[in-house]
Amino acid sequence: MKKIVLSIFVVAMSLATISCSKDDNNNNGDNGGDQQQLIVTIDGQQLTFDSFNVNRYNYDGGTELDITATIGGGTSRIITFYTFVGDTGSDAIFNFTYLLNGQYYTAFNGSATNFVSVTNVNNGSRLEVNFSGNLGGYDEVNQEEVIVTLESGTIRLDL
């Protein structure tokens, strides 16, 4: 009899564990699972970056998150930036760089850049950022500045 009760208990607990997840009490309309995406329109083309590498560096003053985003793990389009855990508000992400087929575009090149960001959530386990603006690069062949326009950028990461 003890074996039957124990078997029923094990099966019941297994079912309870399977049916419960960390996201059952999620009230934000998400259907569950990790949210890992950076969506942005670059020069009129909407792109979804879905592969991320997050490096954490702990300092006396806090934790730095260095984030690299790619499309499907590819190397033709890469976005990198960093932030410090707990920093929110405008311009709380730094060194935002877009790499397109070997050409770097940053907010630090030239005078035509106007990249802005607003970080809404940055607690070490979740990062939510909205961003837009122009990034500049330099065309070595034509010896001129090249601008890319980023619109409607969103970052939603479970870290």
pTM above 0.75, yes or no: yes
Residue type, 122: N
In tens, the pLDDT along 81-114 reads 999 999 999 999 999 999 999 999 998 756 678 9
pLDDT of residue 82: 98
List CB contacts of 135: < 8 A, sequence separation 6 or more: 96, 97, 98, 105, 106, 107, 109, 113, 115, 147, 148, 150
d(CA 106, CA 100): 11
Q: Which residue has the tokens 């208990």?
A: 9
9 conformational bin, left if phi > 0, alpha if psi -120 to 50, beta if neither: alpha
In tens, the pLDDT along 6-48 reads 444 433 343 333 333 333 444 444 444 567 999 999 999 999 9
In tens, the pLDDT along 125-148 reads 999 999 999 999 999 999 999 999
